[in-house]
Structure 1
Amino acid sequence: MKRALLFGLMAVSFISCSCGSKNVANIVSDNTIHPENGKMKIKIGNSTFTATLYNNATASTFKSLLPLTVNMLELNGNEKYVDLSGNLPTNASNPRIIQNGDLMLYGSSTLVLFYKTFPTSYAYTTLGRIDNPSGLTAALGAGNVTVTFERE
């Protein structure tokens, strides 16, 4: 009887683990580097940052909009955002931790550039991230800012 119970628990654990690995695979593939020149430049005032786009439909669609110059609004002392004129494809999930330099989509049309690291309970679709976010906070400043996104 103990063997049957142990075998049953092991089977349930195995099934749970294999289902969980599917979700991890989806998240990992969503955040892989874009294979076809996935680099872009982000210009903020006199500063230019290089960013890498992820290999997903949202990043591909966003890249087709470039070059794009927008006035990004300040929010919460940790992000700049702008509502785009159209919707992009989404695959939102909760990243748990936002990193300084993350570029994400909130909903289907709000582009967000994060300049501080913090925990979150919100869901976003990943677009990419700034390769070296050093100096990003200073470049963005405390208020609204004009940002240009362009292909590298």
Structure 2
Amino acid sequence: MKYSLLIALAVFTLFTSFASCKKDGRDVSSNPSAGNNNGNINPNPEGSKMKIKIGNSTFTATLYDNATTKAFKALLPLTVNMVELNGNEKYVDLSRNLPTNAANPGNIQNGDLMLYGSKTLVLFYKAFATSYSYTKLGRINDTTGLAAALGSGNVTVSFELE
């Protein structure tokens, strides 16, 4: 009897685990922007876009709809000197703290724009696994040439709404 209950419980748990991978009929595990990952990566349904200018290159980013992004947009337009870190990211400390909803994304993607802590803006140009927590702001739509534009040292970057 005990074994029957344990097996039934295991089967129930298995089925509910599979059911949780779907949301509104869409498989969110294959679409990183479809889920909410602790509520901080909902894409803006209006398609809020931002231009990121690095030297002669311009990239378009899609911003997420969250309190952090709204506070960040209030700082725009913004031109900053971003500092190289670890051969995979550029960062700058903003002039003020922004609201946060940090979560560990597990993996960083080329083109992710995030906030570390409450005021460090980070633009990633290489993919890697991470154990750190960030609040997601958005991501660059087409990262072709991003690493080359950012180079290996510090760089001036401009952010402005489209």
After TM superposition, is the score higher than 0.5? Answer: yes
User: Aligned partners of 2:98 and 2:68: how far apart in 1?
Assistant: 6
Q: Which digits, 9 at most, give the CA deviation of each residue in 1:26-78, with x for residues without a partner?
A: 41853232123410000111111000001211111111211011110011111
2:7 is aligned to: 6
Structure 1 unaligned residues grouped into runs of 5+ = none
Alignment partner of 2:122 out of 112, 124, 136: 112
Given that residues 40 and 136 in structure 2 are in contact (C-alpha distance below 8 angstroms), is that contact kept between their aligned partners in structure 1? yes
Q: Given residue 45 of structure 2, which amino acid in structure 1 is its aligned partner?
A: P
2:40 is aligned to: 30
Q: TM-score, normalised by structure 2?
A: 0.82
Q: Given residue 144 of structure 1, which amino acid in structure 2 is its aligned partner?
A: N
Other structure's SS at 2:143 match: coil
Given that residues 29 and 55 in structure 1 are in contact (C-alpha distance below 8 angstroms), is that contact kept between their aligned partners in structure 2? no
| Off by >4 Å, runs of 4+ in structure 1 | none
Given that residues 54 and 126 in structure 1 are in contact (C-alpha distance below 8 angstroms), is that contact kept between their aligned partners in structure 2? yes
User: Aligned partners of 1:65 and 1:71: how far apart in 2?
Assistant: 15
Q: TM-score, normalised by structure 1?
A: 0.87
Other structure's SS at 1:30 match: coil
Other structure's SS at 1:61 match: helix
**Percent of pairs with identical residues:** 65
Larger helix fraction of residues: 1
CA drift of 1:119 comes to 1.2
User: Aligned partners of 2:114 and 2:64: how far apart in 1?
Assistant: 10
Q: Given residue 138 of structure 2, which amino acid in structure 1 is its aligned partner?
A: G
